[in-house]
Structure 1
């Protein structure tokens, strides 16, 4: 009975903390200050105030003109999940400066829900906390031709130092909740990420250490720490502005670059900004990895032997979701699972066994299907098909999509590699949503037994 009471107190305390974090998240996001523009968000409305002198200001929202005049301040409703603004500042009919910024809605009730994966019951408090904070946070962006100013919500991190990445390369670190990148070029596109990590709970760490001992692990202390760490990343793609009238009026965005653009398809001619393909793949980047089953220590599991690629047909699993706002409004998923091969040698010239796992572990949940708003979740739990002993590859992701913005978040095991792209189904061009790479073959110890997670979120404007 006493244990039951303690369990109830723990669960109640956890959800009280989550409630407090939710309030903190919304409050910290409510006001974003930069040298160029002040952004105040409250109850689904935004006030933008430009701090740059001019006699005329032009405001564009999601590619449409919403104001031209002498006022440097506007008020506007925020779309379902957020909007992209372009602001032109003029003096004597000459365009002096262009500012772009994203604004996210503080009323994202659906985004505040915790996605429940197959492994939720086994997750530690630290993993749940990281997942909650990542899903409910944003990178606020204010960009000019000279710099990109990033600001974000407070995130869990072991040493309190946020690592800043641009296009997968580390460009800085800070203990503040903001960062300015001045090494930029007008018209370029950059993918920014804020990376954080914390140690697992003491109980979870002890379980992992015990499993490492049972396996006779050769991992160093540093490698064990990396394998066990609970990681998170917050990302956004930034299109750098140009001080040009044509850029200011352009409807160019990450999403409309990968639409079908009216090409013929199996369902007829589609309007622009309508059809997207969302491809999520897991793959083993090596030619092979050691078979973890104790009695098969000298055997190997064949890998896919490749790097990241939006078009590769080599993978462990692939979930492809096709979406359309109209003609008809639809969300459909196609599932593929590649054959698993167990080999006698690392080069896999001597094959011992071949099997293909069931695709039943990939599931699509449709949360909203409207002509201006699509929302779906994909969950994934597919094992290696050589016995119940082998672990499953687990991940889930959630997409909220309007015609102007996508908010995408997910969580996965830290092995094997994960890649996620959005494209037009009839086009070879794709935009990277998310990528995760193992650091070495030793990381597959994590997939087999440690089961630490990484949570991530990307917003496309």
Structure 2
């Protein structure tokens, strides 16, 4: 009996010890964040005697309290927090805070991109991606990512950094410890689900009809409904100058006060948003089954923010003031059909109409811009050819951009933002076909890719 009492006593002690460790592990995270009804409370768990909080580049609190509360800007904010001990800066932490009060997107776009004909899996993926976020807490030695639950057929989230896979997890969080202070990284969480049974059967019948040579794995990849959440992270430095700096991703794509030579318009809030579709190969097989021995000339290039080779381009220029404006310029390149893969024997040349590219302005204010672009441009050699479909939606404040979209899984897509006279552009989104076989998508496959990127 004594042995039983002793064993019970040790079990109780073990449970208490385990519970205490779990509680401590939670409390030792760098930041506790609570968001509700457009209001945030931040609590710093890293010990110091003085704390400095910066919100969107501006100081909002300095003192001994490790906790602050604040309203969240229209769509979100970026915080930098300095932790001091005896007047020495011990640690800098950065994090993003998203507003939980959802801004409505423009559903006029649904009629332009055949949303009504989409299957339930596509609508589910699009809705989940559009309404989700990657939450970031970064210090000099690691980045902690967390996100909302997303649909995925095997429940395994794939984590990418700068287009390279760095891990997998079944959790809703991931910590990257292989980072360097002062560097910039682009993170994304990738998921996929199967199409509806009806859609899958339809595509499998089409594969059989055209005598497809795709492997089962290639067919599965083409048919899958995909989604990705992305964000750009600037790794902090434990330096006073970094803490007080207003540098951000969006700040780099403006010119900060320079004047235009035309009209003397201030460029400190101007930016250009360029979305292009392109074929990365020199040519691809004509997607019309009857024309198996003919080819469509491609653009023959990789991703490039400055290339003038593309199928289509929409370029939206924005300004908060001087005047407040959202304008779109659109271009369509000539399409070429060839007798041979090298395109030495040209059969036909035509340029599709640009009328399928449309801009919808949801909000145009001096502190908030919101617009939607839709795109449905066909191959101009007959009505039986498919259209290249995509749409995207941007909600923009001076400190943050929330950008979401969806598109066909061929051809390649690239999206950049830059200042009018900037020497480089910031990548918002890129999508690449895996092989020439993916251009089966251009003919009949209906599965789409949904994506979202947030810039702070």
Aligned residue for 1:108? 102
CA contact (8 A) 2:279 2:300 kept: yes
Q: Deviations over 1:34-60 (max 9, x none)?
A: 810000000000000000110000000
In 2, are the aligned partners of 1:283 and 1:417 still within 8 Å (CA)? yes
Aligned mates of 1:133, 1:115 — CA distance in 2:
18
Q: In the alignment, which residue of structure 2 is the partner of 1:440?
A: 435
Query: In the alignment, what sits opposite 2:64?
Result: 70
Deviation at 1:115, TM superposition (A): 5.4
Match of 2:174 in 1: 179
SS at match of 2:231: strand
Q: Is the 8 A contact 2:109 2:374 kept in 1?
A: no
Worse-matched range after superposition: 310-319 or 208-217 = 208-217
| Structure 2 residue ranges without an equivalent (≥5) | 1-25
Aligned match of 2:278: 283
Q: Is the 8 A contact 1:111 1:136 kept in 2?
A: no
- For residues 141 and 65 of structure 2, the distance between their equivalents in structure 1, rounded to whole angstroms, comes to 24
Q: Which residue of 2 aligns with 1:304?
A: 299
- Give 4+ residue runs of structure 1 displaced > 3 Å after superposition: 111-115, 266-273
- Name stretches of at least 5 consecutive residues in structure 1 with no aligned partner: 1-31
Residues of 2 paired with 1:111 and 1:68: CA distance? Answer: 37
Two-structure CA RMSD over aligned residues (Å): 1.4
Equivalent position of 1:20 in the other structure: none
Which residue number corresponds to residue 339 of structure 1? 334
CA distance in 2, matches of 1:110, 1:450: 30
Alignment of 1:224-373 (within 5 A): 224-265=219-260, 267-271=262-266, 273-373=268-368
Shift of 1:425: 2.0
TM-score (norm 1): 0.91
8 Å CA contact 2:259–2:267 kept in 1: the answer is no
Matching of residue 154 in structure 1 with residue 128 in structure 2 = no
Tell me if structure 1 keeps the 8 A contact 2:256–2:267: yes
> TM-score, normalising length from structure 2?
0.92
How many residue pairs get matched? 430
User: Are 2:389 and 1:394 equivalent residues in the alignment?
Assistant: yes
Q: CA deviation at 1:211?
A: 1.2
* 2:55 is equivalent to residue 61 of structure 1: yes
**Secondary structure of the structure 1 residue equivalent to 2:212:** coil
Question: 1:87 maps to what in 2?
Answer: 81
Q: 1:85 to 1:113 in 2, by over 3 A?
A: farther
Task: Find out whether 1:167 has 2:162 as its counterpart.
Answer: yes
How far did residue 168 of structure 1 move?
0.2
Q: Please state whether the residue corresponding to 1:450 is helix, strand or coil.
A: coil
Does residue 385 in structure 1 map to residue 380 in structure 2? Answer: yes
C-alpha distance 307-377 of structure 1, shift in aligned 2 (>3 A) = same
Describe the superposition over 1:197-246 as per-residue Cα deviations: whole angstroms up to 9, x where unpaired: 00001111011111111111111111000000000000000000000000
